């Protein structure tokens, strides 16, 4: 299941790289959100044009196809960093110490191997669509208005490559915690219990009025 997670940081090299990569992941997630908003605007424009002017947006389905990789892949690494992906915590949630870090390391390594295969497959898919000698550098295009498809196909290996870097950092964090037998690992999502999540939310709520008073002063 997906749960709320906390990511700890310190002054180590691992933590600095983690925070730097998170800025890139946040930017990609922002692009994904803007793509969703753009599709909403396109839908309003297309429906309004069909109902009031009998002229829907040309190539509406083609633009949806172009935007889908932005929506589906650009935020995947940021979600992994925050621990937002679906996972089964029935067994892992009861582990502590080195047993927990070893289990997390093994499962993260399996994810990395799968992601590497996805990078290889999606890059090959992009190469089949891209050609410098073809019009618009594209060997294929959308059905309606002929939008080149290679930019959308390139987004998948790019997003998966960022995710691969994130998984390597998490492997580093789990290995570091296992070797040093740490209670809490750095730069990895730590699953919070319901009580811990409630306490954190209560802390944020109680701090909000104090911050507002400080700003007014």
Q: Which residue has tokens 């309004």?
A: 48
Residues whose CB is less than 8 angstroms from the CB of residue 97 and which lie 6 or more positions away in sequence, other chains included: 181, 183
pLDDT of residue 13: 95
Higher pLDDT, 26 or 206: 26
The predicted-structure confidence for 153-201, as pLDDT tens digits, reads as follows 999 999 999 999 999 999 999 999 999 999 889 999 887 666 666 676 6
pLDDT tens-digit profile of 64-75?
888 999 999 999
Return the pLDDT at 2. Answer: 47
**Runs of H (alpha helix) within 53-149:** 60-73, 76-81, 97-129
pLDDT at residue 103, as a whole number: 92
What confidence category does residue 21 fall into, taking pLDDT thresholds of 50, 70 and 90?
very high
| Range name among 2-11, 48-57, 82-91 with the lowest pLDDT average | 2-11
Q: Is 198 left (phi over 0), alpha (psi -120 to 50) or beta?
A: alpha
- Number of Cα atoms under 13 Å in the Cβ half of residue 97: 2
Q: Which sign does the torsion angle of CA 127, 131, 135, 139 carry?
A: negative
Residue ranges per domain, the chain?
10-203
pLDDT at 4: 52
Say how far residue 184 (Cα) sits from the centre of its chain: 23
Cα radius of gyration (the chain): 22
pTM of the model: 0.84
Using one digit for the tens of pLDDT, what is the confidence trace for 80-118? 998 888 777 777 778 888 999 999 999 999 999 999 999
Top-confidence range, 24-28, 91-95, 128-132, 210-214: 24-28
């Amino acid at each position: 299941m997906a749960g709320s997670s906390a990511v700890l940081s310190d002054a180590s090299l691992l933590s600095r790289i983690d925070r730097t990569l998170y800025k890139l992941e946040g930017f990609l997630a922002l692009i994904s959100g803007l793509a969703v908003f753009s599709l909403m605007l396109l839908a309003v424009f297309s429906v309004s044009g069909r109902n009031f002017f009998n002229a829907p947006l040309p190539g509406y389905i083609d633009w949806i196809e172009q935007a889908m990789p932005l929506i589906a892949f650009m935020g995947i690494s940021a979600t992994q960093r925050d621990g937002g992906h679906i996972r089964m915590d029935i067994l892992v949630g009861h582990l502590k110490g080195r047993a927990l870090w070893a289990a997390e390391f093994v499962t993260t390594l399996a994810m990395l191997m799968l992601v590497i295969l996805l990078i290889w497959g999606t890059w090959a898919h992009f190469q089949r669509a891209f050609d410098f000698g073809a019009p618009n550098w594209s060997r294929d295009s959308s059905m309606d208005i002929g939008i080149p498809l290679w930019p959308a196909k390139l987004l998948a290996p790019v997003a998966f490559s960022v995710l691969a870097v994130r998984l390597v950092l998490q492997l580093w964090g789990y290995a570091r915690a296992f070797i040093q037998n740490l209670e809490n690992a750095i730069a990895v999502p730590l699953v919070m219990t319901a009580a811990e999540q409630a306490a954190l939310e209560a802390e944020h709520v109680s701090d909000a009025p104090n911050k507002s008073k400080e700003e007014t002063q």
